[in-house]
Amino acid sequence: MLKRFVLLLLAVLTGTLTVGARADYQPKAERVIDNVYALVGPLGQRSADNDGLNANFGFIVTPKGVILIDSGASRLGAEKIAAAISRVTDKPVRWVINTGSQDHRWLGNDYFIGKDAEVMALARTTVTQAEFAAQHMDTMKRFIGERMQGTKPLPAPKTLAGDSAILELGGETLMLAYTDAHFPGDAWVWLPRHGVMFSGDLIFVDRLLGVLPWSSVKNSQKAFHALAALKPVYIVPGHGRVCDLAQVQSETGDYYDFLAEKVGVAAREMEPMDATLDRYADLPEFRHLENYEGLHRANMNRAFTEFESQ
């Protein structure tokens, strides 16, 4: 017993026992349709166990290699994503596209660059990545500690100009467009031929979406309406299961409409904030969503502040 303990201590001190040896959560690829896959993460918080992969990712297997949507929240998270892809195909990851600047969208970029992938994003996405890099590294270290070791925050080196971009690789066409929803510069990736939308953090299902101090309900509502007009058949949301438009309408679209049309209008008409938040404190149509208790009031508060200042 003592001998085993001493050996373990030695292994830790000499660094022969790597941090990669722990943490059970391993993302599994599920086929959305054809050659399009999703990696659906757990709904809860970032943890050492899930290596910050509490979000969704996706990939498309083409004859010219794999296109990955978002790279995970750490180097170890990126390794787990790569492992999940390698169970589906032995083709290398050629492209990584970042849909946003929140930790889990891009802190794994450096890992994939090291594997010769080209990492890209719309230009304003990368600006926000650089702005939030230090803050997101600190937050991730608080959540997963030493498992952030080796993670280098590297904004997407290839930036795409304009408000949208059309990309083609191996017979696939991908259309990127800004949503500016959860973070400024957030974007979606739309695959028109497959009817698949990777929405990034514009859409949350199964759990209530979070409005952060830098999120915009106004932009989100507008982007959501534009997304619905495309009539995607499959939506890979930022968080929650792969689903159809009806589910995202009732769990995300209707909530943005509520925030803009009830809370936002009250703010514009200069009604008192507390009374407004009290009036809408209990919304049975969203109560079943995870995190409702913890987020709903703060979401309304931020929506009120956004609309009040306009």
Please give the residue whose beta carbon sits closest to Zn ion in the complex: 201
Q: How far is the CB of 304 from Zn ion (least distance, A)?
A: 23
Residue 180 makes contact with Zn ion by CB under 5 A = no
Q: Indicate the residue among 65 and 200 with the shorter CB distance to Zn ion.
A: 200
Q: How far is the CB of 239 from Zn ion (least distance, A)?
A: 6
Q: Indicate the residue among 51 and 201 with the shorter CB distance to Zn ion.
A: 201
Q: Rg for the chain (alpha carbons), in Å?
A: 20
Q: Tokens 């959501």 appear where?
A: 224
Query: What is the three-state SS of 186-227?
Result: CEEEEECCCCEEEEEEEEECCECCCCCCCCCHHHHHHHHHHH
Q: Are the C-beta atoms of 103 and 73 separated by less than 8 Å?
A: yes
Binding mask 228-267 for Zn ion (x = CB under 5 A): ----------x-----------------------------
For residues 188-210, one letter each, b for 16 or more C-beta atoms within 10 angstroms of the residue's C-beta and e for the rest, the string is: bbbbeebbbbbbbbbbbbbbbbb
Binder to Zn ion among 70, 103, 201, 251 (CB under 5 A)? 201
Q: Indicate the residue among 73 and 196 with the shorter CB distance to Zn ion.
A: 73
Q: Indicate the residue among 29 and 55 with the shorter CB distance to Zn ion.
A: 55
Residue 19 makes contact with Zn ion by CB under 5 A = no
Q: Indicate the residue among 170 and 210 with the shorter CB distance to Zn ion.
A: 210
CB-count burial class (<10 Å; 0-12, 13-18, 19+) for 238: buried
Q: Indicate the residue among 61 and 197 with the shorter CB distance to Zn ion.
A: 197
Binding mask 82-111 for Zn ion (x = CB under 5 A): --------------------x---------
What is the token pair recorded at 284?
A: 């049975």
Q: How far is the CB of 213 from Zn ion (least distance, A)?
A: 15
Strands 234-239 and 172-178, bridge-based pairing:
unpaired
Residue 55 makes contact with Zn ion by CB under 5 A = yes
List the one residue out of 20, 92, 26 whose CA is nearest residue 62.
92
Q: Which residues bind Zn ion (CB under 5 A)?
A: 55, 102, 201, 238
